[in-house]
């Protein structure tokens, strides 16, 4: 699996602490086709929280567009699966 950083967003958590959200494009070959997904990593000091969802689409451009929407909405790892279910 390959992982490429696409976007970074800065925001604050519910306690007011600054956090960084990194949005990655994941690519992997499955059943002879390249498939794309995403991983969101929340960085808060030495703490990292992450969630990855693979094999969402065979189109890199579609996944890049979805990652842009996730970053604009500052979707966290905790909400990633729910948001993807809503938009797909």
Q: Which two tokens stand for residue 86?
A: 């809503």
pLDDT-derived band of residue 37, with 50, 70 and 90 as boundaries? very high
pLDDT beyond 90 at 88 = no
What percent of the chain is predicted at pLDDT more than 70? 100
**Helix crossing, 80-87 with 60-72: angle to 10°?**
120
Contact assessment for residue 82 and residue 53, using Cβ atoms and an 8 Å cutoff: no
């Amino acid at each position: 699996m390959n992982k490429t950083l696409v976007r970074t967003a800065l925001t604050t958590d519910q306690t007011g602490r600054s956090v960084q959200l990194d949005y990655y494009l994941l690519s992997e070959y499955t059943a002879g086709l390249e498939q794309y997904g995403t991983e969101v990593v929340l960085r808060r000091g030495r703490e990292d929280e992450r969630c990855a969802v693979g094999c969402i689409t065979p189109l890199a451009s579609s996944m890049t567009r979805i990652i842009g929407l996730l970053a604009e909405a500052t979707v966290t790892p905790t909400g990633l699966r729910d948001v993807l279910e809503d938009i797909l």
